[in-house]
Structure 1
Amino acid sequence: MARVIPFGGKRPRIAASAFVAPTAVVIGDVVVGERASIWFGAVLRGDHPEHGIHVGARANVQDNSVIHTSDQGPTVLEDEVTVGHGAILESCRIGMRTVVGMGASVLQRADVGEGCVIAAGAVVKEGATVPPQSLVAGVPGRVRALGATAAAWTERSSGHYVALSRRYLADAACELCGGPTMERHCKILCLNCGYQRDCSDP
């Protein structure tokens, strides 16, 4: 079941249309926007007393990624951002429609512009500024021009995960209102109308 955990007097705020996978963990000061998706094994740890995590509309955080914050500021994923499997982000900003590749790291105070691609395994250094429509590759990451093929990919990546998350939600729709549901403490909870039932009920 998805673990949605209050911390320090703050509770995650998850849009009713968002998908949070059963094995994801969302803690504390976290906002998840409309039609966003948090996938299996991802951890969003908003446990800093001042700086939270914001996941924009239609953004996706894929399996086993970790998003955290520190004294250096919040972590902000703007609308339609894709975070690939196993990526690590801390106290950074990721611009709209940017794709962060599998296993990439974006470190504290990094500011990544719109429509970028952070290549798989790349490291965006602390305090780095990445201009819009750039490709970052390597360790440490080097900025170069983004080709037309990669630019087109940033435009469609989010849509794929929005569609996939709708399929997951459809299979777990509330029998009363048709809204999205999640498992919590052996209960099936509708995020739309609040209806609950035991997981063991047919």
Structure 2
Amino acid sequence: MSFDHSVSIITINGKTPTIHPSAFIAPGCRIIGDVSIGADVSIWYNCVLRADVSHIAIGNRSNIQDGSIIHCDGPDGLSADGYPTIIGEDVLVGHKAIIHGSHLHDRAFVGMAASTMNGCVIEGDAMLAAGALLTPGKKVNAKTLWAGAPARMVRDLSEEDILGMRAGVAHYVFNGHAHKLAVSGE
């Protein structure tokens, strides 16, 4: 039996994605435009990263889990520079998340099916809970948990919570390498 292992890497407006050789890009992904992906990043099955009007940057060891959508936004009346999406190092983005024109600092966490909108910031060691909606311009402070739609601060994160997020990063780096080998057939 043969499988389609296709990934779309698309140049648009003269911008071509740059992907570190150690990154795992799963079959079914679409990486479009001004996207940069760092070392040991994993972009899981059927994700879309579309940077056609601004740029997307994903730092080392971060992961974008299955079915997530990452986009950015161009300049408007509120932001002359537009809304790039900047994802730092060691960031966890859960399944089916939508990250739009936001900045996720190093070690941020976005839960499954959560969404961020233009101008949002999630600081390091902070968590946006599964299913949460972070409305435009909101900031999740370091070491806090936000939940709900619209999202609001629920509580401070414990050291155990933060260590759990760091363990999740290590798991996804390891698992990304395993899937990369499985997909390549080596």
Output the TM-score relative to the length of structure 1.
0.82
The total of aligned residue pairs comes to 173
Please list, as runs of the form range in 1=range in 2, the aligned pairs for 1:1-202 lying within 5 A after superposition.
1-48=6-53, 51-71=54-74, 72-143=82-153, 144-172=155-183
Give the C-alpha shift of residue 174 in structure 1.
Answer: 8.5
Q: Which amino acid aligns with 2:167?
A: R
Give the C-alpha shift of residue 74 in structure 1.
Answer: 0.5
Asked if the contact 2:57/2:85 (under 8 Å) is kept, the reply is: yes
Taking the aligned partners of 1:132 and 1:77, their CA distance within structure 2 comes to 15
Taking the aligned partners of 1:9 and 1:35, their CA distance within structure 2 comes to 26
Give the C-alpha shift of residue 170 in structure 1.
Answer: 2.4
Give the C-alpha shift of residue 124 in structure 1.
Answer: 1.1
Give the C-alpha shift of residue 169 in structure 1.
Answer: 2.1
Q: Which structure 1 residue ranges, 4+ long, deviate > 6 Å from structure 2? A: none
Change (3 A) 1:171 1:150: same
Aligned residue number for residue 78 of structure 2: none
Asked if the contact 1:41/1:65 (under 8 Å) is kept, the reply is: yes
Structure 1, 101-110 or 154-163: larger mean CA deviation: 154-163
Change (3 A) 1:86 1:174: closer
Taking the aligned partners of 1:36 and 1:100, their CA distance within structure 2 comes to 16
Gaps of 5+ in 2: 1-5, 75-81
Taking the aligned partners of 1:163 and 1:111, their CA distance within structure 2 comes to 27
Asked if the contact 1:117/1:150 (under 8 Å) is kept, the reply is: no
- Between the aligned residues of both structures, percent identity stands at 36
Asked if the contact 1:116/1:154 (under 8 Å) is kept, the reply is: no
Give the C-alpha shift of residue 171 in structure 1.
Answer: 3.1
For residues 53-83 of structure 1, the C-alpha deviation after alignment (integer angstroms, 9 at most, x for no partner) is 0011000001110000002310011001011
Q: Which amino acid aligns with 1:12?
A: P
Give the C-alpha shift of residue 147 in structure 1.
Answer: 2.6
Taking the aligned partners of 1:2 and 1:173, their CA distance within structure 2 comes to 12
Change (3 A) 1:152 1:80: same
Taking the aligned partners of 2:117 and 2:161, their CA distance within structure 1 comes to 23
Taking the aligned partners of 2:118 and 2:105, their CA distance within structure 1 comes to 15
Output the TM-score relative to the length of structure 2.
0.89
Change (3 A) 1:42 1:172: closer
Taking the aligned partners of 1:173 and 1:86, their CA distance within structure 2 comes to 25
Q: Which amino acid aligns with 1:124?
A: L
Gaps of 5+ in 1: 176-202
